[in-house]
Structures are given as C-alpha cells and as structure tokens.
Amino acid sequence: MKNKISKFSFFLLVLIVGCCPIGKYGVFANNLPKVSLIPFQGLETTGARSITYFTFSSNRPFLAVSQFAMDNPAGKTGADGGNSDIFSLIYQWDGHQFIPFQRLPSHGARDWAYFNIKNNHFLALASLRVGNGQPYNLNSFSTIYEWDGCKFTPIQDILTQAAQEWTFFSIDKDFYLVVANYAENVPSSAGNNATTPKLNFGVNSVIYRWNENAKKFDSYQSILTQAAFNWEFFTVDNEHYLAVSNGVGPVSNIYIWKNRKFQLFQSIPSSKARDIKAFTIEQKHYLAISNLGGDSAIYMWDGKQFIFFQKIIGPGGRRFVFFTDRGNHFLAKINYLVGTQYQLLSQIYAWNGEKFVKVLDFPTYGGTDATFFTIRNTRYFAVSYGNKNKDSYRMDSEIYKFVVK
C-alpha cells in the first residue's frame, strides 16, 4: 500500500509543486513559453497503447486508439495479464468533441499507423498477442484496413510476432510498411510452461512493399532485431535511414538504404528502449531515444554519424513526441512505468535555441503515447493511458487543450 496514492492526492501534489491554477498542470521555466494543459475530453479506454490523429480533410478529423487488453472479471489481472481479445477504437470529430465512430476487433493491439497511397486512406493495426491468459500466443495476425468511403474495412492480414508498431514510408515511387516484431514463443519442449512462459526476443522485423497490381503488401526485407518496439524513417543529406528501438540489449540500431536494401549504419546506447524519434530544428538533425530502463537521450547528426547531444533525465520513458507550434519547438516525454508505479509525471520540453528545457510536468497513468494537433485554430494534446495500476488496465485516456503564453 505504501506505493499507492489516490488520484486526488496525485493531482494535488502536481498542482502544489507546479504552483499553477486548478485545472492546469505545469512547472514554468523563465524566458521560455509558458505551457498549460487544460482538460478537454476523456475517452473511455482500457489498456490503450497508442493514440493517432489523422484527417482526410479539415472537416473529417479522427483519433484512433489501440487497446491492448481488458481486465479479467474473475480476479486480479496483473501488469501483463488480461483478456487480449478486445475492440480497438476510432473516434470522429463532430464539431465540438470526439465521438465513437467505429469499433474494430483486435487482439493485444499496440499501435495504429495511418498512411495514404495515391489518395487512398489506410490504417495498419499492430497486434501483439492472442488469448485470455498465459500462455498467450504471440504469433498473431496484424491487419491493414482501407477506407471504403464510409468506414475502414480489412483488406489484408499479415502474420506477425508480437508486433509493437507499424511505420510507413516511401522511397522514390515505392511505398513500404515495416513492423517492429517484439518476440516469439519458445516451444514447450524447450522448457516453456503456462505460468512462466519463455520468450525469444531475437526475431526478424520485416519490411513490406506495396504491390500496386495486387493491392497488397509483399514481404521485402527481414532485419534481425532484439525486442523491437518501433521504427523511425528519416532522410538526411538525401540518404534514407531506418532506426529501431530495441527493448532488449545495450544498443538500438540505425540502418542506411544502400542498393535498395537497408544495412547497418550505426548503433547507439539504449536501456529497454521504447521509442526513437527523428526531427529537425534549424537544418540540424536529431534522434531522441526514449528509455524505460534509465535516462533518455538526444543525439545530433555531425555530418557523418549521430553523436550524443543531451540527456533527458529520468527512467520510465515510453514515447517521445516532437511538434512545433507558432515557432516554438517542443519535445514531450511520455512516461509509462517505474518499478511498479504507473502514476507518474510526464514532461514537455521546449527548445531554447541551444537545448531542450523542461517547461511542464503533468500527471499520467501508464502513459503510452501522445499526439499534438490543431482543429479550427485550437491546439490539442491527446495522451493514451495504458494502466490505472498494476492490477487494472481500465483508465480513461485524455484530450487536453494545449495553451502557450
């Protein structure tokens, strides 16, 4: 009980430390943008692992939420238990708020990726596992959906191994999807059992290429990864790169596109890496890697490779979100878990011309993802919450108004 605090006490602590008005969360730094998050709308979610904003046009904004699992009604669910067979959600803006639009069957869903191919709209859902208890089946189908004019309909199932995320990119005139495969089940003959299943984290993540004639994705290249969590595609000096965050092992890797394949270019230190994000400020290129197991870090391109640039202090990192608003550059670090504690503070950092400086602390509950977007000149910041505590997935995700003064 000593590690548990009530939701009221947790919010009160933040308000006192931040010295900010009721209904706003923040600790402000001098000579930097003053940022406030004002609660706008809660989304009823359970085990939410991602929240993705996309729009076809100005009058059709959507939010897609992937849901990993729901609590077992018979008893304690545990941090990684629960029923994986659950719907994932799509919300649509009705002019005032987001309302439920579509519920799509999913199992152990981890991520939605929206992309556009020749004015056709797609969503790819990454599925990690199937089942309602140990041992879960990590060989599951991840599904690609296409907009049919009224709703999203499935067009392709791809067999994946504990898929964490999809990343879409294009090179020349070709379109690609790469999946971050996390692990595979070790066969029972190798010592696996129902209560303590063993996993192999060294599995191939796979790049798929769009087949225009068949209207589907075909396997193109496999890359061995170690508990991969996500891929990030970026271009520097006309060279194309893919970076992967490895959840196991001491390094995450960057690959370069050569002779129509990706090959290893550089390894950077990481500790239970959960996310890697590329961004550019004033023509300088950066990579931010979010570490669950220790401090996170930002690397800068020096013309030949990425070198260490800045430490972002604190473990628990699950996601980095970079965005620019009215000339200000921001980097949000969404924290998921430290020890057994899901009720944490996440941060927003602002660029001061030389480095990132923290301008905001705000409370999160098993934070897994965030997205910044604008609708009719109003800025919003939506955060997905994955766990209420170590025994329950049931926690509303939150949309905030993002205010800068």
Q: What is the pLDDT of residues 253-304, one digit of tens each?
A: 999 999 999 999 999 999 999 999 999 999 999 999 999 999 999 999 999 9
Tokens for 383, please give them.
Answer: 């955060």
Establish if 291 belongs to a structural domain: yes
Q: How many domains are contained in the chain?
A: 1
Q: Give kind and range of the element (H or E) at residue 204.
A: strand 202-211
Establish if 309 belongs to a structural domain: yes
The pLDDT confidence band at residue 390, using thresholds 50, 70 and 90, is: confident
Region for 237 from its dihedrals, namely left if φ exceeds 0, alpha if ψ lies in -120 to 50, beta otherwise: left
Establish if 1 belongs to a structural domain: no
How far is 188 from 245, CA to CA, in rounded Å? 29
Establish if 334 belongs to a structural domain: yes
Chain mean pLDDT for the chain: 92
Question: Could you tell me if 154 and 145 are in contact, meaning their C-beta atoms sit under 8 angstroms apart?
Answer: yes
How confident is the model at residue 394, as a pLDDT?
95
Domain, as residue range, for 135? 7-404
Q: Supply the CATH number for residue 334's domain.
A: 2.120.10.70
Establish if 90 belongs to a structural domain: yes
pTM of the model: 0.91
Question: Could you tell me if 133 and 110 are in contact, meaning their C-beta atoms sit under 8 angstroms apart?
Answer: no
How confident is the model at residue 403, as a pLDDT?
98
The pLDDT confidence band at residue 10, using thresholds 50, 70 and 90, is: very low
Q: Any residues with CB less than 8 A from the CB of 252 and at least 6 apart, and which?
A: 243, 244, 245, 246, 267, 268, 270, 273, 276, 289
Establish if 301 belongs to a structural domain: yes
